[in-house]
Amino acid sequence: MSKPNKHLLPDSVGRRFDKSERDQIREVWDISGSLEDSVTPGETERALSDLHLRLEMTGEMKSKPEIVIGWLHKHSRLLVAAIALITLTSLFFLVPKTVVVSYGEMATVELPDGTTIEMNSGSSIRYNRFYQFTNRTVELNGEAYFSVVSHGHPFIVETNGATVEVTGTRFNVRSWNDEPENGVVVTVAEGEVYFYPGLLSENPVILHTGETSHWNRGETQPSSPKMVEMEEITAWRDLRFVFREQTLASILRDLERRYDVAIELEAEQAASTTLTAYYSQQVSLESVLNDICAVKGLRYTQTTNGYRIFK
């Protein structure tokens, strides 16, 4: 009796003792009730799973197998259909939900808990169908702005080897798997965010409002927080561009995604050079290309599915 049990002294027993003895009897009854069980809760659980196993093996239906078999024969087609249906439904639930935003488009996704994800062109997210019930984990490739609603489970973004963990807050994640050299960049618009590589949650970088940090594969910790102009980071949400010391290769990828075109760069040595440009409003692709070529001393020409940039 690990916890003192409540079984009372039966009256018919109590009555058999003199008044003078009753207090002592009650004491004896109480002490006996506090004796330890020789069987631990762990042993009970093990025994219960043994029992389950045994019931599975002997087959609980053993008492009337002929009925089951008869039913099987009669309804075999029904059974096949039922099994197929069950398999399909379980597959459906196992396959995560995926949202892909095409090139040239933008999208906002609202998750069941009210969290919204604004997704830049060409981005994709993936999450479990039991999102909110088991955990709140979202996989991201690309760039997105998260407005997370507080909830029982922490909200987690897994992206190209990095993890961002929050409770309720707004933040931007830029993480393209076709631009591994740029790694993962997390910027917080409001609240607090934990940012760490993979599963190394014990040593996170903690970011507060207005701070940014980046991480590249192979590094043990993301860079220490740095203040940044939030407006520049989230310009994409207004279909604007702000390039701050961004490589030409990466800028051209942004343009390809935004305008859904293919841009070939034939001047390879220019690919890794950087550029800073600020557009306060939406612009056409050609005006951006004009600016780039003017600064870098390049030219461009239209192709069947996009543009070619050359020296």
| Shortest Å distance, C-beta 2 to other proteins | 8
Q: What is the rounded distance in angstroms from the CA atom of residue 184 to the CA atom of residue 193?
A: 14
For residue 127, give the 3-state DSSP assignment: strand
Nearer to other proteins, 24 or 201 (CB): 24
* Six-digit token string for 262: 């293919």
| Shortest Å distance, C-beta 44 to other proteins | 5
Give 170's strand partners. 147, 190
| Shortest Å distance, C-beta 33 to other proteins | 6
Residue 297 falls in which region: left (phi positive, over 0), alpha (psi -120 to 50) or beta: left
Tokens 């095409």, residue?
102
User: Which of 48, 78, 95, 200 touches other proteins (CB under 8 A)?
Assistant: 48
Strand order in the sheet with 299-302: 262-265, 306-310, 299-302
Stretch that binds other proteins, among 53-61, 173-181, 199-207, 214-222 (CB under 8 A): 53-61
| Shortest Å distance, C-beta 68 to other proteins | 14
**Backbone dihedral angles phi then psi of residue 154, each to the nearest 5 degrees:** -65, 150
Contact call for residues 42 and 2 (beta carbons, < 8 A) = no
Nearer to other proteins, 21 or 238 (CB): 21
| Shortest Å distance, C-beta 56 to other proteins | 11
Nearer to other proteins, 4 or 198 (CB): 4
* Six-digit token string for 60: 């609980």
User: Which of 3, 56, 63, 202 touches other proteins (CB under 8 A)?
Assistant: 63
Nearer to other proteins, 14 or 168 (CB): 14
Contact call for residues 265 and 309 (beta carbons, < 8 A) = yes
Stretch that binds other proteins, among 49-57, 144-152, 239-247, 255-263 (CB under 8 A): 49-57
Nearer to other proteins, 16 or 299 (CB): 16
Nearer to other proteins, 42 or 218 (CB): 42
The number of angstroms, rounded, from the C-alpha of 13 to the middle of its chain's C-alpha atoms is 63
**Which stretches within 34-75 are classed as H helix?**
41-58, 65-74
Residues that contact other proteins, how many (by CB under 8 A): 36
Q: What is the rounded distance in angstroms from the CA atom of residue 77 to the CA atom of residue 159?
A: 45
CA distance to 109, 123, 127, 160, 177, per residue, from 97 (Å): 12, 14, 5, 18, 19
| Shortest Å distance, C-beta 10 to other proteins | 7
Tokens 């459906």, residue?
92
Give the list of residues 6+ apart from residue 51 with CB closer than 8 angstroms, or none: none
- Asked if 81 touches other proteins (CB under 8 A), the answer is no
Tokens 């994800």, residue?
117
Nearer to other proteins, 65 or 114 (CB): 65
For the window 7-46, what string marks contact with other proteins as x by the rule CB under 8 A? Answer: xx-x-xx--xx---x--xx-xxx-xxxxxxxxx----x--
Nearer to other proteins, 5 or 102 (CB): 5
Residues that bind other proteins (CB under 8 A): 1, 5-8, 10, 12-13, 16-17, 21, 24-25, 27-29, 31-39, 44, 47-48, 50-51, 54-55, 58, 60, 62-63
